[in-house]
Every structure is written in structure tokens, then in C-alpha cells.
């Protein structure tokens, strides 16, 4: 009897996922997040929006998970991630027809949102472990690697967006205190006047502490600001400080590691330079190091999941797998930049150093969520057979002209 109920439930959930995946997610701008979270913040409105939007975002990415190779879907870690998404999807659907005017319903919904957020805390390292399990058992080929790269970019971007919605709701309505004493000026996770240099200094100090512990020394920071919009005033934008922190912390870690390993036992190390520039359209942050740079052929690899120059971390079953060594730092940082229509790019001078540049939209009306959509184009990407390259592939061996065919 229990098995029959489970089978019926699975069929129903499958139909619900099919139904909600037919809708495209509704991207919000930073300004919309701000307007909603200001004085007019209404838990009832948030409840009404999230109970419709969360199932759409979850269903869209759940349909894409099913397009992965069967052997990857069969790994214990990927199955665990799927079960988390399935449970969260069901948890939200329980509120589909509930009365938004009932305070207990909105209270229970906020509790459910907090549970979902906590359930998904370890999604990134768990999915990373699933890819490692797959590669170790079955190896990889270029087509699978390309599809996995395409999927993970979309999967993690979807996760960032879902987490943004969950965090906004819980920070605005999840506690007894309406203003966060640690960040009194923030609206949820958004700071309407995010002081960019303050976030950069904070990220640098924390990266420096890690560097000091590992190398017993660290380079200095030289920070410059250029405010073309309001000369003489500190650069401030509407942004999510935790996203900016994540990006610059990753860039500082990489810059420090490269600098320390190139210059070895030197008494003094070349400083890391950070420049912040605010124009009419873009906020740009550039982090420059003298760590020897990277050859051109390796630049793209640095944004490939599972590519890392650090040793792979050992898995401790008692706690979540660490990100260091999985090669997820730069690709995830680029997703944070792209989430609100920005970007992250690397420019390297091999033998000298690397410039890493973060681009962020200066206007909150143009900082709009970038969201993956499950549709025919996405489906085709997984099903298309990638044919041979239509450009000549240069040979490393010298051509034997005596065997060259004449026409």
C-alpha cells in the first residue's frame, strides 16, 4: 500500500514538474528587489510571488538535470542533489492553494523557505563530488565534458537566483528583528549604497590571513579609486555585498598564491594592485598581480569546472567537501558577476602577471537577473552530436614534404 502511494506521488510530482517547466522564470532587476524590500515590504506579496516563481525556477533546472548522462545521474552525490530539489519542490507546492491572508500560512511558508535554504547549503560541493565520482569511474570525452560545463553553468546560476529569492524573503520576514543590527542599511541581502572599497579591503584581509597561515608571509595591497560620476566621493553602487566579496576574495587568493609561489623566499613581494572605477554604465574592479601570468592556451581552462591547479581536497564524510581544489572558484565567481548582467574576465601576460577584471552594472535598473530557461534550444544542446572542428588543427610534428600529395 505504501509503495502504491509512493508511485502515485512520483507520477503526480512528475506531472507538476512538467507543468511548471513550461513557464519561463521571471527575472527581477536590482531596483525591483529594492522597491519591494523597502518601506512597502509585504510578507503576503512575497508569499504570493514566491509560491508561483520558486516552482518555475526549480522545475526548469530539474528538467535539465534529467538530460545529463545516465551514469552521471546514477552517482550517489547527484542522486542526493536531485532528492533535495524534489523535496523542496514538493514543500513549495504544499502552499499552492493556501490562503495568503492567514498569518499562520505565511508564518509556515517562511519556515519552509528557511528549511529549503538550509537543505541546499551544500549543493555546490555535492554536485562537484558527483562529477568527480563520474570521471573516476567512467572517464570523460569531449562531448560529455562540454555538456557538463554547459549544464553546471546553468545549474549553479539557477541556484544563485533561487538562493537570492530565499535570502530576501528570510532576511525581510524571517526574524523578530526587522532591521539586521550587523547591516542596518541593507535591504535583505542588498546594500543600496555598497561601498566597494570597504568590501575589497575586507576580502583582502581575509585572503591575506589565509596566505600568512600557508606561506608565513603575504603581499601588500595598493588600492585606487576613480569615481567619474561623483569625483572625490567614495565609489558606491546598489549591489549584493556578499556576491562582490565572493568574487574579489577568490581573485585575491589566486593573486597571492601566484605571487608567493613565483617569488619563493624573497624578502619582499610585489604588491597586489586593485583599482575601482565607476562610470556612467559600469563599475569595474581590476585586480592585478606579478605572479608570472598564465599562457593563453590555459586561460579558458581556468573557467572549466574540475580544472584546478591546487591539490584535490579529501572528502570527509562528517562535513561538507571544501571548494578549494575542485576548480570551482573562478567559474562560480564569474556566475556571480554575470547574474546581474556583469562579467568577469582574465587578461594574462605570461612571464609577468595577470589582470582579473570584474564588470558590474552601475545602474540598478539595468542589473537584471540572468536566468536559465528550459526550452527546445537548451534540450538541443544536450542532444546535438558535436561534429569535427571546421578549422585546421595544427600538427606539432613537422610535415614531411616528400610525401605531400600533388594534384
Residue 99 catalytic? no
Q: Torsions phi, psi of 284, nearest 5? A: -125, 135
The dihedral formed by the CA atoms of 112, 114, 120 and 124, expressed in degrees to the nearest 10: 150
Spot the catalytic one: 53, 64, 254, 369: 254
Residue 253 catalytic? yes
Residue 246 catalytic? yes
If 0-12 CB within 10 Å is exposed, 13-18 middle and 19+ buried, where does residue 368 land?
A: middle
Spot the catalytic one: 63, 246, 273, 286: 246
Residue 120's CB is within 10 A of a number of other CB atoms, namely 18
Question: Contact at 8 Å (CB) between 284 and 252?
Answer: no
Residue 40 catalytic? no
Residue 202's CB is within 10 A of a number of other CB atoms, namely 15
Spot the catalytic one: 253, 273, 286, 369: 253
Question: Contact at 8 Å (CB) between 130 and 305?
Answer: no
Spot the catalytic one: 53, 64, 133, 250: 250
CA distance 354 to 348: 4
CA distance 389 to 275: 40
Q: Torsions phi, psi of 288, nearest 5? A: -120, 140
Question: Contact at 8 Å (CB) between 276 and 235?
Answer: yes
If 0-12 CB within 10 Å is exposed, 13-18 middle and 19+ buried, where does residue 135 land?
A: middle
CA distance 323 to 202: 20
For residue 331, give the C-alpha cell.
567559474
Report, as residue numbers or ranges, the catalytic residues. 246, 250, 253-254
Amino acid at each position: 500500500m505504501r509503495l502504491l502511494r509512493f508511485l502515485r506521488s512520483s507520477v503526480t510530482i512528475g506531472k507538476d514538474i512538467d507543468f511548471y517547466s513550461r513557464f519561463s522564470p521571471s527575472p527581477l532587476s536590482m531596483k525591483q528587489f529594492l522597491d519591494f524590500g523597502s518601506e512597502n515590504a509585504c510578507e503576503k506579496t512575497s508569499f504570493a510571488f514566491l509560491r508561483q516563481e520558486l516552482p518555475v525556477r526549480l522545475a526548469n533546472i530539474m528538467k535539465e538535470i534529467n538530460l545529463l548522462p545516465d551514469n552521471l545521474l546514477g552517482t550517489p552525490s547527484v542522486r542526493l542533489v536531485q532528492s533535495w530539489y524534489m523535496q523542496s519542490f514538493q514543500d513549495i507546492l504544499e502552499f499552492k492553494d493556501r490562503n495568503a491572508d492567514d498569518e499562520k500560512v505565511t508564518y509556515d511558508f517562511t519556515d519552509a523557505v528557511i528549511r529549503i535554504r538550509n537543505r541546499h547549503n551544500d549543493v555546490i560541493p555535492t554536485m562537484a563530488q558527483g562529477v568527480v565520482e563520474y570521471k573516476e569511474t567512467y572517464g570523460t570525452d569531449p562531448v560529455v565534458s562540454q555538456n557538463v560545463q554547459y549544464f553546471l553553468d546553468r545549474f549553479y546560476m539557477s541556484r544563485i537566483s533561487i538562493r537570492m529569492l530565499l535570502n530576501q524573503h528570510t532576511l525581510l520576514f524571517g526574524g523578530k528583528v526587522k532591521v539586521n543590527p550587523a547591516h542596518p542599511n541593507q535591504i535583505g541581502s542588498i546594500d543600496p549604497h555598497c561601498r566597494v572599497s570597504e568590501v575589497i579591503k575586507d576580502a583582502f584581509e581575509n585572503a591575506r590571513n589565509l596566505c600568512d597561515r600557508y606561506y608565513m608571509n603575504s603581499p601588500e595591497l595598493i588600492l585606487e579609486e576613480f569615481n567619474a560620476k561623483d569625483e572625490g566621493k567614495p565609489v558606491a553602487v546598489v549591489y549584493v555585498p556578499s556576491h562582490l566579496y565572493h568574487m574579489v576574495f577568490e581573485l585575491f587568493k589566486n593573486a597571492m598564491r601566484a605571487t608567493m609561489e613565483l617569488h619563493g623566499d624573497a624578502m619582499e613581494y610585489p604588491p597586489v594592485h586593485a583599482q575601482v572605477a565607476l562610470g556612467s554604465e559600469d563599475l569595474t574592479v581590476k585586480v592585478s598581480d606579478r605572479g608570472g601570468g598564465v599562457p593563453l592556451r590555459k586561460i579558458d581552462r581556468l573557467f572549466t569546472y574540475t580544472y584546478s591547479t591546487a591539490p584535490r581536497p579529501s572528502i570527509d564524510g562528517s562535513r561538507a567537501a571544501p571548494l578549494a581544489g575542485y576548480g570551482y572558484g573562478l567559474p562560480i565567481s564569474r556566475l556571480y558577476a554575470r547574474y546581474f548582467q556583469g562579467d568577469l574576465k582574465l587578461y594574462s601576460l605570461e612571464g609577468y602577471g595577470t589582470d582579473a577584471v570584474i564588470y558590474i552594472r552601475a545602474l540598478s535598473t539595468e542589473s537584471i537577473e540572468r536566468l536559465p530557461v528550459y526550452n527546445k534550444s537548451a534540450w538541443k544542446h544536450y542532444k546535438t552530436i558535436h561534429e569535427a572542428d571546421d578549422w585546421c588543427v595544427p600538427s606539432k610534428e613537422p610535415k614531411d614534404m616528400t610525401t605531400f600529395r600533388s594534384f
